[in-house]
Amino acid sequence: MVSLDKAIVARLTVEGHAFEILVDPDAALRFKEGGGKGSVDVAKDLAIDTVFKDAKKGDHASEHLLTEVFGTADVSQIAQRILAKGEFHLTTEQRRTLLDKKRKQVVQLIARNAMNPQSNTPHPADRIEHAMEEAKVHLDPFKPAEEQLQAVLTALRPLLPIKMQNVTVEVHLPAEQVGKAYGMCKNFGVLRSEAWQKDGSWVGAIEMPAGMQAEFYDELNRRTHGNVETKLLRS
């Protein structure tokens, strides 16, 4: 079992009754990040094999109350319910690690999917990150990055000209380069159109997030050694 001094309190209120467990913070976080799926190992994950009404006071919840509210007195099953639907406070280290990870995810989303409408070029990741710091953007460590994107963009717009936008790039692959780059082009974004020419060359139009243009051109040139023609159709 995890030691008492390292355990945190996880709490769930049901029908006006508070239920608490003393749980290993890493086990609680793994359970939460797993979407409430999995199981709780009472012997390993809990500091004490019991469910409390008030853990600080050592006030245990009776088996009768547990059965009445949860339909069982099994500590493992109840602990899962508490972790899945209740709340707990992250340790300082956990919160810092999760927020750093979430911030990188949000920055990457913006860098890949947004652009500067003044220059029609993506914003570098470090510029986005600095703007987020200046705007004092607050992120939810548990909420998916995609669901926080619009709020972050709203906070950044007073500081950065920024616009979510897709572009369509037309690619003309000579016949000798088709085998090297056709699959990459077809799978990189959404293939809007394609046509095979009489000389064996290929012309395709690929729609992609604006911020992915540089990555696309770099990979295309790497595969074809620059023997390729491209044209930006829409920005």
* Residue 36: per-residue pLDDT: 66
Q: What is the CATH number of domain 8-88?
A: 3.30.1250.10
Instruction: Tell me the CA end-to-end span of the chain in Å, nearest whole number.
Output: 58
Please state, in angstroms and rounded to a whole number, the distance separating the CA atoms of residues 157 and 154: 6
| Helix (H) or strand (E) segment spanning residue 145 | helix 145-156
Please state, in angstroms and rounded to a whole number, the distance separating the CA atoms of residues 55 and 47: 11
Domain definitions of the chain by residue range = 8-88, 92-163, 165-234
**Count of other CB atoms within 10 angstroms of residue 65:** 16
- The SS3 of residue 140 is coil
Please state, in angstroms and rounded to a whole number, the distance separating the CA atoms of residues 110 and 70: 43
* Residue 130: per-residue pLDDT: 96
* Residue 122: per-residue pLDDT: 82
The encoded tokens of residue 186 equal 């077809």
* Residue 234: per-residue pLDDT: 61
* Residue 75: per-residue pLDDT: 94
Mean pLDDT by 10 residues, the chain (235 residues): 88 95 92 75 89 94 95 94 91 92 94 84 91 95 88 93 88 96 91 95 91 87 95 77
Q: What is the domain class of 92-163 according to CATH?
A: mainly alpha
The encoded tokens of residue 220 equal 């295309």
May I ask the CATH architecture of the domain 165-234?
Answer: 2-Layer Sandwich (3.30)
CB 21 within 8 A of CB 52: yes
The DSSP-derived string for 32-58 is HHTTT-S---HHHHBSSSS-EEETTTT
* Residue 97: per-residue pLDDT: 93
pTM of the full structure: 0.62
CB 51 within 8 A of CB 85: no
